[in-house]
Amino acid sequence: MKNYLAALQAKTSNNDYEKLAAIKNTGVHKAVYESAELCNPDNIFVCSDTPDEVAYIRNMAIVSGEESAALALPGHTFHFDGPHDQGRDRAVTKLLVPKGESLNEALNQIEREEGLTEVHGLCKDAMEGRTMIVRFLTLGPIDSEFTIFCLECTDSWYVAHSVDLLYRKGYEAFRKAGTGTEFFNTLHSAGKLNDNMVSVNHEKKRIYIDYTTNTVYSINNQYAGNSIGFKKLALRLAIRKAHKEGWLAEHFMIMGVNGPDGRKTYIAGAFPSACGKTSTAMLPGENILADDIGYVRNIDGVCRAVNIESGIFGIIQDINPKDDPVIHEILTSPGEIIFTNILVKDARPWWLGMDVDLPETGVNFTGEWFKGKTDEKGAEVPPAHKNARYTIAQKVLANCDPELDNPKGVELGGILYGGRDYRSYVPVQQGFDWEHGIVCYGAALETETTFATIDAEGTHEINIMSIQDFISIPLEKYLHNYLQFGKKLDKTPLVFGVNYFLKDLKTGEYLNGHQDKHVWVKWMEMRINNDVEAIKSPTGWIPKYEDLQPLFREILDKEYTKEDYIKQFTIRVSENLAKLNRVEAFYHENIPDLTSEVWRVLKEQRERLVKAGEKNGDYISPETLMK
């Protein structure tokens, strides 16, 4: 085998070479060598995670112009992505699938050889004139059953800086690990940049995931969801590994809910982007363990989970002191924060929904901005992008859960799924059992798509467990394994469905306030601990008015009327049946080999709805169900 380490000596300074040589894993040497050989950087900077190096990376992000520190509060910087790189890009994100293998039609794939040729071509000499930054990190706590080692090579100081805030440092772990330790490898290049340090070749943006070598290639982009290999890109690799080994890699927030007498119950939740995931994890008085991705394992019969990240890349729109006090406080205090795609004016960041009047001019992701500015298609440019974000380390949050780095993770008492559903599901309900909850709330998750993916706002779609875009194995297999996972646990988490977006069918008004989710979370915590009973409805167990009313008073200081309760928890039979029809049509079209258990659960749900409708009409009040 080629001596990659020796070959790297020619490309690195002594100091950087020593850092690589201290790692015994020859796979690392090979990966770094191949990335450098392909992209041809002027030099290589190896980060061994010392405070000096970390500070250097942050400083270089500013010196290079990828970030600017022209904000009033110390520690704050901002970065802009190009106008065509403001969200995850589904169309150009593909799994490289070897000839003869195939995943479902619904998953974006390209034949491996063809994809490799294309992406290698685009990466060729992409780092000329630039530095390749090499970073090591781990997904999940170090020294844990959950740990996955990761290597990143990028030419973006902003990306390398973001990695620092979002992930656990891994150089030491790599140094101590054996020669053959498996790791995920990512190669990113922002490609050609313009004067504003923004990738210009957006038509040549490609994000390809090669699961045969656990490698991610990402070129001609900067948006963190596209450029940082460890968000949804390595998630695709993790899903394959998880399903091979009998665990789950999920698009989960995880929160610690504080119950009476110091009791704490952990609940995980999957939501498509911009459907309330972070704001649920961040509810005041509770603790946040994870906001985006969790790994879940059966450890001695118990369902345990970790946050694979240690920072937050969160949506900033609508963060205001009233609705999100915890995060608002952080964003307006000194401390290390990267703002992206906000409006900058008077050395301050501004965003949509911050509950103050925005300035009429400033600088944003399109350059100089003024009210009324239009883009090349004639559409008005908003002051800040809807998908503008903030990046912070999680430990700066006062409500960060103390178990964040527990190598054993936390025990999950419940799992919840929620989408943007205006018409059918009640605000909160509990599945009859694991299978019912997983199928009817998770696998049947349907949502109005939002702005976090490019060009997809405002259409209805099925988004299985809010992870469909990232599933990298046949969908039938994914669902089958998920169901099996629960069956093997001695203590199965309760499964809930939530819907923060239910509307009055006549007036079109939302039936719930932004904060009501806190009451649902507290109710779930009580259900998990057998504190309250529930009403059996055709679609799941729903809360009793008597249990919600005191929660509304205690938590939100709000008088919850019976009338509101009935409106929110009335079972809408025909809307639920219509949803079932859409879900089944999707499965017929996309998952021909779907496990029969899913069909059974859906059939039973339909039968319950039809029967209840025949008996009680199309809209069934919870009071009727109690009789």
Q: Are 587 and 598 in contact (CB under 8 A)?
A: yes
Name which of 524, 494, 493, 528 is nearest 297 in CA terms.
493
Residues 442-481 that bind ligand SPV (CB under 6 A): 452
Question: With binding defined as CB under 6 A, does residue 434 bind ligand SPV?
Answer: no
Residue 518 binds what, of Mn ion, ligand SPV, none (CB under 5 to 8 Å, by partner type)?
none
Cα torsion angle, 31, 32, 33, 38, sign: positive
Quote the least distance from Cβ 159 to ligand SPV, whole Å. Answer: 12
Q: Which stretch binds Mn ion (CB under 5 A): 34-42, 286-294, 521-529, 541-549?
A: 286-294
> If binding means CB under 6 A, how many residues of this protein chain bind ligand SPV?
9
Angle among Cα 379, 202, 390 to the nearest 5 degrees reads 75
Q: Are 552 and 519 in contact (CB under 8 A)?
A: yes
Name which of 111, 553, 519, 494 is nearest 265 in CA terms.
494
User: Can you tell me the distance from the alpha carbon of 521 to that of 152, in angstroms, rounded to the nearest whole number?
Assistant: 37
Among 29, 58, 168, 231, which residue sits at the site for ligand SPV (rule: CB under 6 A)? 231
Cβ neighbours, 10 Å, residue 286 = 23
| Single-letter residue type at 242 | A
Torsion of Cα atoms, 156 then 161 then 163 then 167, to 10° = 170
Q: What are phi and psi of 250, to 5 degrees?
A: -130, 160
Among 82, 225, 409, 497, which residue sits at the site for ligand SPV (rule: CB under 6 A)? 225
Quote the least distance from Cβ 251 to Mn ion, whole Å. Answer: 6
H, E, C per residue of 196-229: CCCECCHHHCEEEEECCCCEEEEECCCCHHHHCC
Q: Is 400 a catalytic residue?
A: no
Q: Which stretch binds ligand SPV (CB under 6 A): 223-231, 321-329, 490-498, 581-589?
A: 223-231
Of 67 and 81, the one with the shorter C-beta distance to ligand SPV is 81
Q: What are phi and psi of 195, to 5 degrees?
A: -65, -25
Residue 452 binds what, of Mn ion, ligand SPV, none (CB under 5 to 8 Å, by partner type)?
ligand SPV
Quote the least distance from Cβ 454 to Mn ion, whole Å. Answer: 15
What letter does residue 410 receive in the DSSP assignment?
E
Helix, strand or coil for residue 423?
A: coil
Residue 217 binds what, of ligand SPV, Mn ion, none (CB under 5 to 8 Å, by partner type)?
none
Of 292 and 435, the one with the shorter C-beta distance to Mn ion is 292
Q: Which residue has the tokens 């040549």?
A: 204
Residue 313 binds what, of ligand SPV, Mn ion, none (CB under 5 to 8 Å, by partner type)?
ligand SPV
Cα torsion angle, 45, 404, 73, 199, sign: positive
> Does an H or E element contain 100, and which?
none
Residue 421 binds what, of Mn ion, ligand SPV, none (CB under 5 to 8 Å, by partner type)?
none
Name beta bridge partners: 571.
620
Question: With binding defined as CB under 5 A, does residue 469 bind Mn ion?
Answer: no
State how far the alpha carbon of 125 is from the alpha carbons of 47, 129, 130, 219, 450, in Å: 22, 9, 10, 12, 36
Of 224 and 426, the one with the shorter C-beta distance to ligand SPV is 224
Residue nearest to Mn ion (CB): 292
Q: Which stretch binds ligand SPV (CB under 6 A): 6-14, 29-37, 174-182, 225-233?
A: 225-233
Among 135, 232, 243, 297, which residue sits at the site for ligand SPV (rule: CB under 6 A)? 232
Quote the least distance from Cβ 231 to ligand SPV, whole Å. Answer: 4
Helix, strand or coil for residue 386?
A: coil
Quote the least distance from Cβ 233 to Mn ion, whole Å. Answer: 12
Catalytic residue among 39, 150, 275, 400: 275
Of 271 and 482, the one with the shorter C-beta distance to Mn ion is 271
Q: Are 132 and 43 in contact (CB under 8 A)?
A: yes
Binding string, residues 79-118; x marks residues near ligand SPV by CB under 6 A: ---------x------------------------------
Quote the least distance from Cβ 272 to Mn ion, whole Å. Answer: 8
Quote the least distance from Cβ 225 to ligand SPV, whole Å. Answer: 2
How far is CA 253 from its chain centroid?
8
Of 250 and 292, the one with the shorter C-beta distance to Mn ion is 292
Quote the least distance from Cβ 77 to Mn ion, whole Å. Answer: 22
Of 417 and 523, the one with the shorter C-beta distance to ligand SPV is 417
Among 273, 364, 430, 499, which residue sits at the site for ligand SPV (rule: CB under 6 A)? 273
Cα torsion angle, 125, 126, 129, 131, sign: negative
Residues 290-309 that bind Mn ion (CB under 5 A): 292
Q: What are phi and psi of 515, to 5 degrees?
A: -85, -10
Active site residues: 275
Chain residues in the site for ligand SPV (CB under 6 A): 88, 224-225, 231-232, 273, 292, 313, 452
Chain residues in the site for Mn ion (CB under 5 A): 292
